Amino acid sequence: MALKHKLILASGSPRRVDLLHQAGIEPARLMPMDIDEAPKKSEHPRSLARRLSAEKSEAAFAAVKGDVAWQGSYILAADTVVAVGRRILPKAEFVDEASSALHLLSGRSHVVYTGISLITPDRKLRQKVVETKVRFKRLSSKDIDMYLASGQWRGKAGAYGIQGLAGSFVQKLIGSYTNVVGLPLYETMLLLAGEGFDVYAEWQEG
């Protein structure tokens, strides 16, 4: 039975690990999955988040299914997508991408979608997509230039991380804050608990 409490996180994101730690959960293994994250033609951002999270969890499952040590594990994956309307903003890798994204987000609202996928020990796939509406203040040229200089945009969906300096850009947020960080904790815990994972195993003092 102890094996059923192992959780594999199909991600290498420090933010997702930190959020799970915040909820008292220690993943037994981190398995970042290298998949093609490009959206399909006319794919809705919500559908993209759902699909990519499923593909990550399924890739991790395929990688461990023959390993007896990991049989009976839960496999959790997530993917976060930032969009203005139906326009999906990529995970910024270059300064010009980040600059373009920040100019687009300036003074307007956008939606952050996170798809979470859980493969249970009996090989069922459970999914949830959570969305949060975020409005940025109007960004000055200095705001953008200094944020680009900080480097905190690298690898982030929408070219920002709300838990860092860009938190000061947020004028209004409707929905889950942890969703914008990268893993909606309420929905994740609900999903895990609903499938029999002991979310309180590490809560006892000492």
Give residue-wise pLDDT tens across range 110-156.
999 999 999 999 999 999 999 999 999 999 999 999 999 999 999 99
**pLDDT exceeds cutoff 60 at 37:** yes
Q: For the chain, list the domains and their CATH numbers.
A: 7-195 (3.90.950.10)
Mean local confidence (pLDDT), 44-61: 97
Q: How far apart are CA 15 and CA 13, in angstroms?
A: 5
Identify whether the C-beta of residue 9 lies closer than 8 Å to the C-beta of residue 176: no
Strands (E), the chain: 7-9, 29-30, 74-84, 87-89, 109-119, 125-136, 170-174
Mean local confidence (pLDDT), 174-191: 97
Any idea which residues carry the catalytic annotation? 79
Q: How far apart are CA 197 and CA 31, in angstroms?
A: 19
The pLDDT score that the predictor gives to residue 4 is: 47
**pLDDT exceeds cutoff 50 at 2:** no
Confidence of residue 205 (pLDDT cuts 50, 70, 90): low
Mean local confidence (pLDDT), 88-115: 97
Quote the pTM value.
0.93
